Structure 1
Amino acid sequence: MRPGPTPRLSADDWINAGLKALARAGSGALKADLLATELGVSRGSFYWHFADIGAFHQAVLARWRDIAALAIIDDIERSVAREDRLAVLLRRAFAGDTSLEVAVRAWGTATPLVRQTLDAVDRDRVGYIETLLVDLGFKADIAHWRALIFYSTYLGLALSGRRLGRDEIESFVRELSILSVPA
């Protein structure tokens, strides 16, 4: 039986494959030949979309920033009542799969471009939590420190590799919500 035609992949296909490989196997999996084999295409398809591996890494990081912070913030802003936004954000954060978060952070320990992206995502996330806390009635300086507490809690749990069950998430959010009530 003759093999079928080679599928035509878009840059998005490569980026999505890169994100999956990164979450599964770490930054060492972000190589054109490994991804091409996984996708069942030649490396030429990769180089049709990306000038080099550095350009691909930049595209993967830009997509990660979008899905890890910007798209979540946009979705919550559009679809959740103002007074419920922090609780919804916490539920999403603590219920989500953190394998990609962990992989990007590991990659960032040795790669300045990744570290810069992590810093930007951290600023986006902490800034958004600060905004939510100010909306709930906190003064800006207190909102900043509380936001860091919320965010540090998320990162600590994500990096620990522990996954919370549904009931644990609700308990966790309930306890953290105590910090979202101004004194």
Structure 2
Amino acid sequence: MPRTPRARWIEAGLEALAQGGPDAVRVETLAAELGVTKGGFYGYFDGRAALLAEMLDEWERRCTKEVLDRIDAEGGDPADAIRRAGQRTFTEDFHRIDLAVRAWAHHDPSVAARLRRVDNERMEFLRRMFGAFLTDPDEIEARSTLAFALAIGRHFMAVDHPGRTHREAVHLAGEYLLRSGRA
């Protein structure tokens, strides 16, 4: 299904954000990349700030609302729901954008507020899922925090895992967190 021109601008903006941060999202550069005129941009957006806002809307929709709605609709085992949410939310493409938004949030209070809202929604999902098979509120909070930190931070780790690949070690950590009862 072909994308609308507006969606192409947003997609190109998200890619530029992932590659170089918000300063890399330039109307002229995006127009050249898309093979269109800069004037075409203003048929869809009131300016660069409007594009940036719609990019954040798209990021939030794709990696939070769509994922959580789909996971909720599929139902099933809570531990499996956490696995599926992680697989869908932190794909390589989504993760690159997520990390760029996190870096951007350090310099822009409105982006930081949006990131906090998204992260709170993600944590609420984790708390709800862990709460389906754990009763201790401290354990629910600890496992939710550790699972979320593992999902975000795994790319920042530069450590050897004797006898395991990095991927295997991360998978092992995730599975340990998802065990029922005490970890």
Corresponding position of 2:85: 89
Aligned to 2:173: 172
TM-score, normalising length: structure 2? 0.81
* Structure 2 residue aligned with 1:15: 10
Deviations 1:35-71 (A, max 9, x none): 1111111111111111111111110001111122111
Q: 1:78 deviation in Å?
A: 1.8
1:148 is matched with which residue? 145
Which of residues 50, 72, 84 in structure 2 aligns to 1:55?
A: 50
Q: 1:159 to 1:48 in 2, by over 3 A?
A: farther
Q: TM-score, length-normalised on structure 1?
A: 0.81
What secondary structure is seen at the aligned counterpart in 2 of 1:49? coil
| Amino acid across the alignment from 2:181 | V
- Segments of structure 2 that go 5 or more residues without pairing to the other structure are 160-164
Residue number in structure 2 paired with 1:33: 28
1:109 and 2:106 aligned: yes
Q: d(CA) in 1 for partners of 2:86 and 2:18?
A: 21
Change (3 A) 1:164 1:90: farther
CA distance in 2, matches of 1:55, 1:156: 30
Tell me the distance in 1 between the aligned counterparts of 2:62 and 2:143.
24
Matched, 1:45 2:40: yes
Q: What's the RMSD between the two structures over aligned residues?
A: 2.7
State the structure with bigger RCO (CA 8 A, min sep 6), 1 or 2. 1
| Alpha carbons of structure 1 residues 114 and 164: separation in structure 2 relative to 1, 3 Å | farther
Pairwise CA distance, 1:137 = 3.2
Q: Partners of 2:124 and 2:82 in 1: how far apart?
A: 12
Between 1:140-149 and 1:112-121, the stretch displaced more is 140-149
Matched residues, percent identical?
27
Partner of 1:137: 134
Would you say the 8 A contact 2:147–2:174 is kept in 1?
no
Secondary structure at 1:71 match in 2 = helix
Counterparts of 1:164 and 1:39, CA distance in 2: 37
Q: Which runs of 5+ in 1 are unaligned?
A: 1-7
Aligned in 2, Cα 1:46/1:160: closer, same or farther, shift over 3 Å?
A: farther
